[in-house]
Structure 1
Amino acid sequence: MASLDWLIVAVTSFTIFQIMFHYLSGRISVHLCKGFRALPDIKKTEWNSRVVSTFHALVVGLLCVYLLWFDDAVNADPIWGEPKLVKLNVGLTAGYLISDFLLILWYWNAIGDRYFIIHHLTALYAYYYVLGQGLLPYFANFRLIAEFSTPFVNQRWFLEVLGYPKTSMPNIINGFLMLMIFFLVRIAVMPVYYHKMISTFGSEAFYKLGLRAQFAWIVASVCLDVMNIMWMYKIGKGCYKVLCACKKEKADSQKNGKQR
């Protein structure tokens, strides 16, 4: 995929996600969710942002899995394999990241988050080498498997803003799935990723990258995974609080039943 081609993909992706945020999400949500209309504007802004985020995660995550299973050229040569389809996936993500980055700055009071700013800039820095020079296609695509956790993280927020109690069954089910999927696609895969990375050290293909690309690859990977560990801790802590609340609620219910 030539530079102009991936640029077209990124610009098209950016445009689609902007249209989804400003026009499609609100109009669709009004019909699909009765509670959306009653939300204050600041919550509607974040709602639209998370709808876009969920859509992006599903599209990119599914394409990521397809490439990991069926793109033989990239799997055979993780550093210099033919990156055509990976560039398509990364181009879609780059367009989304730029779109979301600008929305975060513009609607800072509603969706501002310094960790997302760091995350987006770090990812874009690393993806520059994939899109601009065709480097590290396997590793760039592998990172995108993490997107499968995003829909569950967003669903937790949707349930909360719609007034579902933390101890409600939808919240408990989603919380369990969120914890499990987040761990599987962001934490459990780390040994596989870094084993694959370390196995390339010292090879001709690795030295051919040059110091700048090596630095971008390693530093970006570590930074993103430090944030993943931080988020995993917060999710685990939140799930623990919900479990404690459920136990307390059950104990109170049994106590009240005995008193009657």
Structure 2
Amino acid sequence: MAISKKAVMAIKSYQNQAEVLVKNYLLADPFIPYTSVLGGLFACKMVYDLTRLISTFHSKSYAGLTKIQRIEWNNRGISTIHAIFIASVSLYFVFWSDLYSDPRLAGFVTLRSSPLSTFALGVSVGYFLADLGMIFWLYPSLGGMEYVVHHTLSAIAVAYAMLSGEGQLYTYMVLISEVTTPEINIRWYLDTAGMKRSSAYLINGVVIFFAWLVARVLLFIYMFYHVYLHFDQVNQMHAFGFILVFVVPAALAIMNLIWFGKIVKGLKKTLAKRQ
């Protein structure tokens, strides 16, 4: 059935109104931090429900899980999607975008930001808040104190970079480490599904080792070296931001090294059983 001219004009009118709403309010610079955080929270809820729905109909293992295991299963779906999103955005801004790499742009690299970089950080803040809420709600079923410390430090640092526009480059460098999260979640899924002795579990363990080494050990060394080379610019940040640049990455680096030691031990144990 053909659409009348009046209907077409009405649709265009609503479309224009929606574009104005998004441009002047939802994505206006003063509102970006708040709309992006709310968007992140909403996305977490949506992914949780979709993970539960898809797993119910397409995963045989899901039906045999306990209530807590099902919640963790769905929760790991959220962390996986967030990790893919923020790791991709972080890699883009750190290695491909001109925002932090072009010397012709005005201002110190530590003080540069854009609506897109701020929006992406806001989505990440929404995720960390949602995940912290679930951890506290079911504590310690979804993670012990190390997860609380990790998420709290991450949320504070990301929120500060989002709201102030300071140190976003270093925030994105640290967030690249989220590239290891999908592999960690796959490991848990395989273990929960009774596939701990499968080849997929072994391959995933090797991938975790190399991904962790690059993204959570070597990349942190590169970040600290970058801070050293640009210390004069880091020194221009506000005192709180200056402290965050050193304290949060240092604390996360220590935790990463501790976890890396456990990963190495686990991989050695798995390989020994295969011989």
Question: TM-score higher than 0.5 here?
Answer: yes
The equivalent residue for 1:196 is 226
Say if 2:93 and 2:99, in contact at 8 Å, map to a contact too: no
Say if 1:89 and 1:141, in contact at 8 Å, map to a contact too: no
The equivalent residue for 1:210 is 238
Alpha-carbon offset, residue 105 of structure 1: 0.7
Q: Identify, as 1 or 2, the structure richer in helix.
A: 1
Aligned 1:67-146 pairs, distance under 5 A: 67-76=93-102, 77-146=108-177
Counterpart residue identity of residue 62, structure 1: S
Say if 1:64 and 1:142, in contact at 8 Å, map to a contact too: yes
The equivalent residue for 1:257 is none
Change in Cα spacing, 1:109 to 1:207, as seen in structure 2 (3 Å) is closer
Distance 2:268 2:163 in 1: 44
Give 1:220's match in structure 2, choosing from 248, 253, 256.
248
Query: Is 6-15 or 29-38 further displaced after alignment?
Result: 29-38
Give 2:266's match in structure 1, choosing from 230, 234, 238.
238
The runs of at least 4 consecutive aligned structure 1 residues that moved more than 3 Å come to: none
Change in Cα spacing, 1:184 to 1:206, as seen in structure 2 (3 Å) is closer
* Corresponding residue pairs, total: 243
The equivalent residue for 1:184 is 214
The equivalent residue for 1:163 is 194
RMSD in angstroms over aligned alpha carbons? 1.5
1:54 aligns with 2:80: yes
Give 2:53's match in structure 1, choosing from 7, 16, 27.
27
Say if 2:121 and 2:159, in contact at 8 Å, map to a contact too: no
Distance 1:100 1:5 in 2: 21
Distance 1:193 1:84 in 2: 23
* Structure-1-length-normalised TM-score: 0.88
Question: 3-state SS of the aligned residue for 2:100?
Answer: helix
Distance 1:68 1:20 in 2: 27
Say if 1:3 and 1:132, in contact at 8 Å, map to a contact too: no
Unpaired runs of 5+ residues, structure 2, are 1-27, 103-107
* Structure-2-length-normalised TM-score: 0.84
Distance 1:144 1:206 in 2: 19
Counterpart residue identity of residue 48, structure 1: N
Identity of aligned residues (%): 23
Unpaired runs of 5+ residues, structure 1, are 248-260
Distance 2:30 2:155 in 1: 16
